[in-house]
Amino acid sequence: MSALLAASDFVRPPIDWHAAAPELTLLAFGALLTMMDIGWLERGRKASSVLASLALLATMVPIITLAADGNDRTMFGGAFVVDNYSLIMKAMFVLAGYVVVLLSTNYIAEGDYWENEYYGLLLSSILGMVLMASARDLITIFVALELLSIPAYMLATWRKRDLKSNEAGMKYYLMGVFASAVMLYGMSLLYGSSGSTLLADINVALSAAGDPSSVVVLGIIFVTVGFAFKVSAFPFHTWAPDTYEGAPTPVTAFLSVASKAAGFVALMNIVFVGLLGRDDVVEPLMWVLAAASMTVGNLIALRQTNIVRMLAYSGVAQAGYMLAPLAVYGDVPETALGAVVTYLVIYAAMNLGAFAVIMAVARKTRSAEISDYRGLFHYAPGLTVAMTIFLFSLAGIPPLGGWFAKFRVVEALIDANNASGVVLGIFVAVNSVIALYYYARIGLAMWGEEAPDGDLSKVDVPVSLVAAIGITAIVTIAFGLGLVVGDFTDVSLVAASGG
């Protein structure tokens, strides 16, 4: 055996355990959770959510130590990179996951679902995301993507006997598979054009050429389509409303935030590292996707009566805003990257918060219809204020976080100092106004109308939900006031790409 090993000239690549520590921690806890399930069966139910929370908090430890260390780390020939950017994204995924656990605790426990598996799958999906943050190689990205997607398909179908949940999972699954198939096809073309799966190498190979060949263009577009699906950009958003509506609400929150963010992370990895020299193709592509997503998403959201579907379409529009900086990424890479990262973080906070309130309200109304939000202010003022914060933050009203996110986007667009950037900026501006309409409509229903049937009984909100709402609200406001912006924009993928 050792002879065999010695005979081959394979040398195990050096492994920086510290760099991989977050993934390994998650993996260990995930395995533990699964073992517990196998060993304890139902007895482990109570402990599982606690364990999941612990897993996520424990994962934060290596992330923090890595951040404190401050050195960029590279493994596997550049396929796995730990830098500021990836750490921030990892932290975001982990914390978003933590909030999702908080959201899930009561929902899953009270709903007669399988709990241990649920958390196990959740952790494995988060693992995929955390991995994605460091992935700088097509294969890694693909594996990470599937690692985060496959558990998510199952989570979406978690309410096994519910037709809607089935349908949600089915649609999510099939569309996901189609999209990853297209993406893979695109990856194969990129690989073929550059001869490497490493993004840095791809960049070098593609940048060297003059005009892009059709194969490259096709590859870029197909790859982009794969992630556009993930971030639910128009016209690849079709699954999102149905899946969001049908999936269990915590899972919806998870999908709408973490999964979307993972899609963006992957997209940014590819775009900023692998395609930095091909902004002539990518920028107009992103421009079209961004403009179409924000406009169509907002317009359709106007007509929604179900708050979750509305948030799904709002999510499409938000994806459009987030894609917008990528339309000028070649001109102002740092600003554009910073804008997307900031937006992702803030979006995570406010959207999770909104879902937390939806879950809290649904505990009384058993419904997610907007009409059931009427008069909420009169019997649940705290929830109303929280919901108002989240909704108007999504709309981008200062001093709530959303404005800062949008500000960064517009800043990047204007900074590019070209017509397409400014026009897209105007798109963002006009769309913010359209979007306000449906957000404010809910605000109006909550504040300005009478409760249906005059039912003013209080809403019983469990502690975990309160905690989730509190955390997200604080983060949302803190961002809005400019208190914790910190290093979010110091991230640079350009350095990593060497370009």
Complex with other proteins: residue 44 or 241, whichever CB lies closer: 241
Angle between helices 419-448 and 279-302 (to 10 degrees): 20
Complex with other proteins: residue 13 or 235, whichever CB lies closer: 235
Complex with other proteins: residue 203 or 388, whichever CB lies closer: 388
* Least distance to other proteins, CB of residue 173, Å: 5
* Least distance to other proteins, CB of residue 147, Å: 9
DSSP H/E element including 390: helix 381-395
* Least distance to other proteins, CB of residue 249, Å: 14
Complex with other proteins: residue 22 or 151, whichever CB lies closer: 151
N-to-C CA span, the chain: 43
Complex with other proteins: residue 370 or 428, whichever CB lies closer: 428
Complex with other proteins: residue 52 or 412, whichever CB lies closer: 412
* Least distance to other proteins, CB of residue 54, Å: 27
Are 93 and 258 within 8 A, CB to CB?
yes
* DSSP code for 432: H
Beta strands in 76-199 (DSSP E): 80-82
Complex with other proteins: residue 47 or 143, whichever CB lies closer: 143
Alpha-helix residue ranges (DSSP H) falling in 259-375: 260-268, 279-302, 307-323, 333-365
- Helix then strand count (H, E) for the chain reads 21, 2
* Least distance to other proteins, CB of residue 135, Å: 13
* Least distance to other proteins, CB of residue 92, Å: 17
One-letter identity of residue 298:
N
SS3 72: coil
Measured between alpha carbons, how far is 276 from 270 in angstroms, rounded to an integer? 8
CA dihedral sign, ordered 128, 132, 136, 137: positive
Cβ neighbors of 18 (< 8 A, separation 6 or more) are 62, 65, 66, 69, 73
* Least distance to other proteins, CB of residue 53, Å: 26
- CA distances (Å), 341 to each of 133, 180, 205, 322, 409, in order? 12, 23, 27, 9, 10
Strands 80-82 and 73-75, sheet pairing? antiparallel
* Least distance to other proteins, CB of residue 9, Å: 13
The rounded Cα 324 to chain-centroid distance in angstroms is 16
Complex with other proteins: residue 20 or 217, whichever CB lies closer: 217
Complex with other proteins: residue 13 or 437, whichever CB lies closer: 437
* Least distance to other proteins, CB of residue 302, Å: 4
Query: DSSP string of 91-115?
Result: HHHHHHHHHHHHHHHHHHHHTT--H
Measured between alpha carbons, how far is 382 from 369 in angstroms, rounded to an integer? 20
Peptide bond into 381 cis (omega under 30): no
One-letter identity of residue 333:
P
* Least distance to other proteins, CB of residue 403, Å: 7
Nearest partner of 359 among 465, 256, 241, judged by Cα: 465
Measured between alpha carbons, how far is 121 from 397 in angstroms, rounded to an integer? 36
Complex with other proteins: residue 46 or 164, whichever CB lies closer: 164
Complex with other proteins: residue 258 or 312, whichever CB lies closer: 312
* Least distance to other proteins, CB of residue 47, Å: 26
Bridge partners, 73 (sequence order): 82
Nearest partner of 265 among 319, 351, 350, 344, judged by Cα: 344
Complex with other proteins: residue 74 or 238, whichever CB lies closer: 238
* Least distance to other proteins, CB of residue 278, Å: 10
